[in-house]
Structure 1
Amino acid sequence: MLPQSSHPDLPLTALAPMQDVTNLWFMKVIAQYGSPDYFFTEYFRVNDTSRLDRTILEAITENDTGRPVFAQMIGESIPDLVRTARDLCRYECAGIDLNMGCPAPRIYKKNVGGGLLREPEKVDQILGALRQTVTDRPFTVKMRVGFDNTDNFYKILDLINRHNVDLLSLHGRTVKDMYHGTVKYDLIAEAVRWVNCPVLANGNVHSAQSAIDVLAKTGAAGVMVGRWAIGNPWIFEQIRQGLQGEKITPVPLAEVRQYIDRLWKTPTAANVPERARLGYLKMFLNYVALSIDAEGNFLKSMRQTQTETELFHLCDRVLLTDQTKTFASTPYSGV
């Protein structure tokens, strides 16, 4: 049984697991703007020498957002996946999630993450072993529609059914597509009809309106948002507003400035060199900037800053000068 939604009458929302992003700190930041129904951890790497990463584990053990947190694993060694799942089940995680979608070449070349989609037989064995192990809480899967084509798509969906997976998060691109190209929402709709569990539609859900459109196209039980939640932490609350037919509440650029300040104040800030902190913040700002101005001037200028002082002077000038300007609810195209 899946944990209950915080809004039972609405489709589900989830923050996608993103390595180096969806840690405890970022979950707490997002929660200040309107939590999704479900959080997923960064993936726990699983191999013959692996042990639970204590930093990732904190997203479960120290999480005070009030929302369920699923523990995600990535690996291909069945004994070690089973061992890790058992270890994780000793903690108050909402469920165990298997990553079969990571598109990073350094990951899929090890035949883990999205690399597993090339081997349905191996997937069959892994899902069977984990389903036998995870019996007291949901067992879930995140995957893509295929590796470099969709030849195995329905075979994998049959395995999702065979092993009674409780929730499927499906990104509508192949592994080789990475984050480019058209999202195959038609295949997500096929999965919704094919599998016996709820499906979360994932892939380019960049605004409340796009979430509503994706739900209409796919019939999915909900949406999973990744990169666009980095750029717009208000997105989950905006999705709920849109689904209820409400007008999306405009976000003043001054509130965006406060969000950037929160992003700068990471828990490890005092121990990280300024240049590294700037690089980490700019990873977030690459998405935030897409909703600030249609010309892309903030994005270009932000990338050129070299120091904390330069960056925050720019933020103050752009975001605090005109109190009437608001954050775009949909990213500007062409930026």
Structure 2
Amino acid sequence: MHASVLQRFLPAHRPVLALAPMQDVTDLRFWNVLAHYGSPDVLYTEYFRVHPDSHPEKPILADIDANATGRPVIAQMIGRDIPSLVRTAAVLQRHPIVAVDLNLGCPAPVVCRKDAGGGLLRDLPHIDAILRALRGAIGAPCGDGSGAAIGFTVKTRIGYDSAADFPRLLDIFASHQLDALTVHGRSVREMYGPVVHYDLIGAAARRMQAPGAGTPVLANGNVRCTTTAQAITADTGVRGLMIGRGAIRNPWIFRQIREHYELPAGAPRFRPTMADVRGYIDVLARETRREGTSERAHLGHLKKLLNYIAPGLGGDDAFVRNLRKASTLAELFAACDAYLLAPERADADAYATEPNWAASLNATQAAY
């Protein structure tokens, strides 16, 4: 295996914690938001769109170069054209990253129609060819003076229509000495449905982390809280967890998981209150606003983020409806104040109930 810098970020006593790549969310601004509450161990970029006419998106490159969180960055690519992927990987390795990641999981129909992202899972021979080319093209020295090589990682789903080809897919991954593999435990067809196939994530961990293989596996899918994080890690044997929607909902989640593994039994753990969530919304509003963005556009972006935050906060549907009806930032903040800072709930545990993300996503698609 390549002497990857990633080995430095694998704690012996707990899973490594990664922020999932999410388009229009996981940019430098959101990285800075999480830094207020306890950053993940590793950050992933939004994906770079790669095709014969592409150039790496300058805003994402600028985020990489300006990252001051102290956390390492993995740059993700999405595409199917091998020369273009190799060319883009060469450019990315000139920036301060610790790995280049290939996206084999995006289920967006517009992506899959181009046979990229999750769409590539219908063409295992082409995946094999891509991995062979990228494994040979990635491995430049990291720019951090460590002497370690830039790693090559993959984020995948378990299949396109089903998991029937997943064992063959793991064989392909194992043949290319990946430095890490993240498995989202759903097929492309399953999108973000309620079922996550943790048994298949466990199968991937046993296959890829076996003696002589040595590729750490990260689990992705419905890591919502400390309880689910501990259960998924114990049940699957993975070396890490990748968290996406759960980190938007609860930015303290990485801190809480660390405390679970690192604090002695009986020591107090941090539990965010509704008032803490209200403060988080202010930080989101301040940190995620792009220069020159209109109030209307920023309001729309905040509403999309709040669709991951509001469900489960006490189960009050009226709060969610009021957020969606807000036509100005002032109205949005007033709705947050009225619910989250109400005397009867301001000090309440903010995450005592689980969110219904499927309903939230459906409502988001209908409202926007």
Q: TM-score, normalised by structure 2?
A: 0.87
CA distance in structure 2 between the aligned counterparts of 1:149 and 1:251, rounded to whole angstroms = 38
Query: What whole-Å deviation, never above 9, does each CA across 1:46-101 have from its counterpart, x for those lacking one?
Result: 01111111111123111011111000000100000000001111111010000000
Question: Does residue 89 in structure 1 map to residue 93 in structure 2?
Answer: yes
SS in 2 for 1:251: coil
Question: Does residue 172 in structure 1 map to residue 176 in structure 2?
Answer: no
Q: Unaligned regions of 5+ residues in structure 2, if any?
A: 140-148, 361-368
Structure-2 change in CA distance of 1:221 and 1:6 (3 Å): closer
Q: Counterpart in 2 of 1:77?
A: 81
Q: Counterpart in 1 of 2:118?
A: 114
SS in 2 for 1:277: helix
Contact 1:289 1:296 in 2 (8 A): no
SS in 2 for 1:9: coil
**Deviation at 1:5?**
2.7
Q: Counterpart in 1 of 2:348?
A: 325
What code does the residue aligned with 1:215 have?
A: T
SS in 2 for 1:99: strand
Structure-2 change in CA distance of 1:181 and 1:256 (3 Å): closer
Q: Counterpart in 1 of 2:238?
A: 220
Query: What whole-Å deviation, never above 9, does each CA across 1:127-182 have from its counterpart, x for those lacking one?
Result: 00000001231100000000011122111111111110110000000011110031
**Deviation at 1:332?**
4.5
What code does the residue aligned with 2:217 have?
A: V
Q: Counterpart in 1 of 2:45?
A: 41
Contact 1:70 1:95 in 2 (8 A): yes
Alignment match of 1:194 (pick from 203, 207, 212): 207
What code does the residue aligned with 1:14 have?
A: A
Q: Counterpart in 2 of 1:304?
A: 325
Contact 2:313 2:353 in 1 (8 A): no
CA distance in structure 2 between the aligned counterparts of 1:35 and 1:98, rounded to whole angstroms = 23
Contact 1:183 1:203 in 2 (8 A): yes
Deviation larger for 206-215 or 314-323: 314-323
Contact 2:10 2:239 in 1 (8 A): no
SS in 2 for 1:290: coil
CA distance in structure 2 between the aligned counterparts of 1:26 and 1:209, rounded to whole angstroms = 24
**Deviation at 1:194?**
1.0
CA distance in structure 2 between the aligned counterparts of 1:137 and 1:63, rounded to whole angstroms = 17
Query: What whole-Å deviation, never above 9, does each CA across 1:261-318 have from its counterpart, x for those lacking one?
Result: 1211246445222222111101111111124212333222211222212111111122
Q: Which runs of 4+ in 1 moved over 6 A?
A: none
CA distance in structure 2 between the aligned counterparts of 1:291 and 1:63, rounded to whole angstroms = 32
Q: Counterpart in 2 of 1:144?
A: 157
**Deviation at 1:202?**
0.4
Structure-2 change in CA distance of 1:65 and 1:325 (3 Å): same
CA distance in structure 1 between the aligned counterparts of 2:271 and 2:163, rounded to whole angstroms = 40
Q: Counterpart in 2 of 1:205?
A: 223
What code does the residue aligned with 1:48 have?
A: P
CA distance in structure 1 between the aligned counterparts of 2:88 and 2:204, rounded to whole angstroms = 28
What code does the residue aligned with 1:328 have?
A: Y
Q: How does 1:254-269 map to 2 (within 5 A)?
A: 254-266=275-287, 268-269=289-290
Contact 1:215 1:222 in 2 (8 A): yes
Q: How does 1:95-134 map to 2 (within 5 A)?
A: 95-134=99-138
What code does the residue aligned with 2:120 have?
A: L
CA distance in structure 1 between the aligned counterparts of 2:91 and 2:352, rounded to whole angstroms = 41
Number of aligned residue pairs: 335
Percent identity over paired residues:
45
Q: TM-score, normalised by structure 1?
A: 0.95
Q: How does 1:252-291 map to 2 (within 5 A)?
A: 252-266=273-287, 268-291=289-312
Contact 1:13 1:222 in 2 (8 A): yes
Q: Unaligned regions of 5+ residues in structure 1, if any?
A: none
Q: Counterpart in 1 of 2:34?
A: 30
CA distance in structure 2 between the aligned counterparts of 1:267 and 1:332, rounded to whole angstroms = 23
